[in-house]
Amino acid sequence: MATLLSTLATAGQALDVYQQALNVVQNNITNSTTPGFATQTLNLVAEPFDSATGLAGGVAAKGVTSARDEYAEEEVRRQAQSLGYFQAQAQGTSSIDNLFDVSGSSGVPADLSALFQSFSAWSVSPSSATARQSVISSAGTLADDVQSLANSLAGVAGDVQGQIGSTVSQINQLTATIQQINAQTSQGTTGPSSDALLTSSLQQLSTLVNIDTVSQADGTVTVLLQGGSPLVVGDTQYAISAANSSAAGSQAPPSGQILDSQGNDITSQIQGGTLGGLLNVSNTILPSLIGGGQQVGSLNQFAQTFADTVNGILESGTTGPQSGAATCAALFVYDSSDPTAAAGTLAVNPNITPDDLAPVDSSGNANGNANQLAALASTPVASADNQSFTDFFGQIAAAVGQDSATAQENQQAQQQVLTQTETLRDQSSGVSLDDQASLLLQYQRSYQAAAQLLTTLNTMMDSLFEDMLT
């Protein structure tokens, strides 16, 4: 009788165990598309059987095991960090590249060509009022387009600053989520989806900024910037913030700056993720063009050097060959108090008239100045890196194009690397619906077998009791 009762208990326990196993499989199937979810398996252990000592055997559940591979997760986060960096860099450099026309058919390259042609026409007819007016008009178009380009680049800088602020907000939202999961873990109130949410949040965070994670003995995770500044420790979040840093007296767009929860500058620690890519565009690529910090910017160098060179030639001559002829006023003006403002303030002297232009050089050649100006189309200039102005500006545009092309290539290559890394991770920890279907069938059959055994034992018990009563 005792053996029959223990077998009955064992069969009942088996029903409970296989029901748990079916629930785990169902949970796997339900969450197969949930970001960050890893396959879970109920550990089934055979109970000892020894009829002599009353051990009835059977099956027991010994906890649920996750298939998550932390090394694979860490590698996915590392590759996601690189992809976030290249994506932000590609987007920023593309916006800059779109402002330049390397074909030379429009914008500053076309304006330069038109101005040099007007200089050449003026050298043929140095006294022509029409030729002189053409010079002033062409110079005005060039100055307007240089100024417009500088303003457009400043607009891109403003957009990038806005994206930096938005990215910082996303980072703080994700670290707040991780902090809440840590708090639930400490209190023992995590739900079945907490692990998947934590993994997904960490991967999203890695896409935004370079982080290190440390799993603690109590089940919480510590999140640090790779430079060491904490973002989440236990149930405490350390929010970061975005700020602007401008050089004193400079009109260049401000640099992006990241502050920790205590207001300390931690910008140098941001080397990866979307935030790192945006800071690279804001603090390195754009200042190389329009200045910032200790840089004048190549566009300002072009504007100042071109204006000074043209003005120097004109101001060295006279408006006519006769004795006592007037000297020329400057053709271009710009804000000389700030080297980073040259391109953004370049303009034609508002007081100059066609009669003020000086075609006669200091040696008395009637078209000497006009010839020198026309020759600038191909003459190397020391202050323009020993290139002609056409080549110097072309070099600026080519560098922008190369930065954009490189960033696009890096983004595409990194996307493939991340996809491959995620595939390898999912092969080891992702949910295989085929495997789960096989387990589902297996556990259903086991459940049915246990139920049949229970039914048979119940029938035997009924028969035994009837025999005892008769």
pLDDT of amino acid 257: 92
Sheet holding 221-225, edge to edge: 211-215, 221-225, 230-233, 236-237
Which run of H or of E encompasses 374? helix 368-375
Rounded CA separation 354/9 (Å): 110
The predicted pLDDT at position 364 comes to 82
pLDDT of residue 423: 87
* Cβ atoms of residues 363 and 350 within 8 Å: no
Q: What is the structure's pLDDT at 446?
A: 75
**Residue corresponding to tokens 């700020």:** 243
Please give the pLDDT value at position 1: 44
pLDDT at 383: 84
Amino acid identity, position 8: L
pTM of the full structure: 0.84
Cα torsion through 347, 353, 356, 360, rounded to 10? 80
Domain residue extents for the chain: 2-67+432-469, 73-297+390-421
Q: Do residues 272 and 410 touch, judged by C-beta distance below 8 A?
A: no
State how far Cα 15 lies from the chain centre.
52
Answer yes or no: are the C-beta atoms of 241 and 235 closer than 8 Å.
Answer: no
Furthest CA-CA distance within the chain: 149
> From CA 413, how far away is CA 115, in angstroms rounded?
43
| pLDDT tens series, the chain, 470 aa | 445 566 666 766 777 777 777 777 777 677 677 666 777 777 777 777 666 666 666 777 776 666 667 788 899 999 999 999 999 999 999 999 999 987 778 899 999 999 999 999 999 999 899 999 999 999 999 999 999 999 999 999 999 999 999 999 999 999 999 999 999 998 888 777 788 899 999 999 999 999 999 989 998 999 999 988 999 999 999 999 999 876 655 667 878 999 999 999 999 999 999 999 999 999 999 999 999 877 899 999 999 999 999 999 999 888 777 766 777 889 999 999 899 999 999 999 999 999 888 888 888 888 888 999 999 999 898 888 899 999 999 999 999 999 999 999 999 999 999 999 988 888 877 777 777 688 778 877 877 777 776 677 667 666 666 656 66
